[in-house]
Chains A and B, each alone.
Chain A
Amino acid sequence: MDSLQLENEAKQKDYRSNSLFRVTLRSIFRQRSAIIGGTILIFLVLVAIFAPWIAPYDPEEVLIGKEDITKRAKPCIHLLGCPEDEPQHILGVDGNVRDEFSRVIFGTRVSLFIGFTTVGFAIIVGTLLGAIAGYIGGWLDNVIMRFMDVLLAFPSLLLAIAIVTVLGRGLQNALLAIAIVSIPRYARVIRGSVLSIREQEFVSASQALGGGHFHILFRRILPNAIPPLIVQGTLGIAAAILEAAALSFLGLGAQPPTPEWGTMLGSERNQVFTAPHLVFFPGLAIMITVLSFNLLGDGLRDAIDPRLKE
């Protein structure tokens, strides 16, 4: 093997290890918060997928007559000294005599579903609006962005409450409300990116080559606007989960018997002095889930764009 070949191989290796994807991935792995957040998130996704195998009971199964247990019974764990003849419920039993642990486990599915669907919807609509506003500009830009300003002028939970009042309570309407409320965030991010990318040389090159508006916007500009969108989206999922839980807590979102954490917390709120475990665990679950998205979002932001570092 001569030296030239060695050099070439080294160059290739170098080139490969420096591809954009790898560089990004490496800088993400360097962020402690992204690693912690990502790990918790992977764990939660696994819990959601394998919920039927992890949960000892059906989350909506009422245990009256099936087991010798009273409603709102305290947690009973055999390993921690709970008598063997009592049925094991590691997080206790709720007001309708259902296993709290199974409900918390299945709640992971509902919350992750809420987070991804609302933000997915908001990103699609927000991207379209922001891209049109930024690319076409002029009066259309003004109309769209002023409307976004008005939406942003309302505290988001409040606007979501008002929208649910119109649409009627229920999980689906709550999701729609939260999605609508979070559209301006994404529209703004995309508009900003489009405005700056539009001026770059590769866009002019594409125009010179005769690329149509559609081609330039969707094939040249938008793919380059994705990184900040991923960051906003991750942080947005955290906000969406928190807001959906608040709506459900107020009785406007998911309706019983759906095992949704906010709903579970809301229906047992008056029992906090007698059965604190029924308030504590669903809330803790919300906090851990939201925290994981927040940490991941922070880490991604620092990795993708150090200038945005908070």
Chain B
Amino acid sequence: MTQYTIRRILYSIPVLIGILVVTFVIARSIPGDPCKAMLGEKATAEVCERFNREQGLDKSIPVQFWIYMNDILKGDFGESIRYSRPVTIILIERLPMTIELGFVALVLAVIVGIPLGVISAVKRNSIIDVVTMLIANTGVSMPVYWLGLMLAYVFALLLKDTPFWLAPSGRITAGIIPIPFYEVFGWMVEEETFKYHFLEFFSNMYIFNSLITGEWKVLGDALKHLILPSVALSTIPLSIIARMTRSSMLEVLRQDYIRTARAKGLRENLVILKHAFRNALLPISTIIGLQLGTLFAGAVLTESIFGLAGVGRMLFEAITARDFPIVQAFTVVIAVGYVLANLLVDISYAFIDPRIKLE
């Protein structure tokens, strides 16, 4: 078990280094003089020389890469051009929103997708199966942003003045202010310290924050704002999970031990859930891990449609404004997050399937 985990962690190190190399190369191949991009077109040669020296841009490429690696390991992503603030701080402000959105979308995809897939497989070729697969096929083919806009049109405009009305943009209704949990608990935290940013990070997840402080009104309002974006974001993962669950279940239901379980008179529910589903879980968990990539990419689109101040929208704005430090940092963080999440999925295999430990 430990050996397997260590081996998996070691395997992912070259990939992580590769990600840093690729983002470094991308950042360095952006056309134009970085000095002029940072300081403006009017920067003189002297000013640029000093700037290059300060930023280490006069050093050789391998040395620059070494400095860049060191900075990233220290959590220093440089300063945003547009906001003149450390990128790390911007990340701390923006990431919680995206994590919350992605998490809710993923939970939605799993709790709807898996049962749909199981039912489709058990009732193969029934009307439920056909309809589910029709929806799943349409779901994977749908542009996220289009679905988002159409949902906003239906729920914010057509259903206006009905109880089903949902907010088309923002995280929370103006006027409702979530109080950070550390303030509620009376913790004294000095601003701009590491501890402050650390606690801010978690209190910026409104749902998490209001759950532990017990502010139900805030929770309800935040959830009401999150429904449309997370439904839009979850469609593709949901469809893929449903399809994968169905095929994985069909594969398992053909096995001899299922016939044995039935033959010895076990209740059908028990056969499906305990014997079939547990064995079908491995490919399903792989596909769930891979969906995190879809979720991150979808967040760029969903957040910009629903006016949510998360990482995705920030990234898009940074691209438009050519704010390279942000583009570089956010790309690294998202790719590393994706690799680590899939590493976790890989490690969880050993818990789901004891045979893997033996390999």
Query: Whole-angstrom distance between the alpha carbons of A168 and B320 in the complex?
Result: 11
CB of B14 closer than 8 Å to a CB of A: yes
A307 CB to closest chain B CB (Å) equals 10
Do B150 and A283 touch (CB < 8 A)? yes
A252 to B304, CA, bound (A): 14
Tell me, in angstroms, the Cα distance from A290 to B247 when the chains sit together: 22
Cross-chain contact A161 with B31 (CB below 8 angstroms): no
The answer, yes or no, to whether B111 is at the interface (CB within 8 Å) is no
From B150, B296, B320, give the contact of A280 (CB < 8 A).
B150
Residue of A nearest to B20 (CB): A150
Contacts of A150 in B (CB 8 A): 15, 18-19, 21-22
Whether B319 lies near A252 (C-beta < 8 A) is yes
Binds B, one of A46-54, A129-137, A241-249: A241-249
Given the complex, which residues of A lie within 8 Å of B142, measured CB to CB?
A: 283, 287, 290
Find chain B residues with CB under 8 A from A249 CB: 143, 145, 301
Q: How far is the CA of A191 from the CA of B349 in the complex (A)?
A: 26
Q: Which residues of A contact B156 (CB under 8 A)?
A: 273
Asked whether any CB of chain B lies closer than 8 Å to the CB of A310, the reply is yes
Residue tally, chain A, CB below 8 Å to B: 47
- Give the Cβ gap from B332 to chain A, nearest Cβ, in Å: 10
Per-residue A-contact encoding for B313-335, CB less than 8 Å = 1, 0 else: 00110011010100100010011
Are B26 and A162 closer than 8 Å at their CB atoms? yes
Bound CA span A158–B322, Å = 15
> Which residue on A lies nearest to B246, using beta carbons?
A310
Chain A proximity of B15: nearest CB distance (Å): 5
- A residues lining the B interface (CB < 8 Å): 33, 146-147, 149-151, 153-159, 161-163, 165-166, 168, 238, 242, 245-246, 249-252, 262, 265, 269, 272-273, 276, 279-280, 282-283, 286-288, 290-291, 294-295, 298, 309-310
Chain B interface residues (CB < 8 Å from chain A): 14-15, 18-19, 21-23, 26, 29-31, 137-138, 140-147, 149-150, 152-153, 156-157, 243-244, 247, 292-294, 296-297, 300-301, 304-305, 315-316, 319-320, 322, 324, 327, 331, 334-335, 338-339
Q: Which 3 A-B pairs have the closest CB atoms?
A: A283-B146, A150-B18, A157-B297
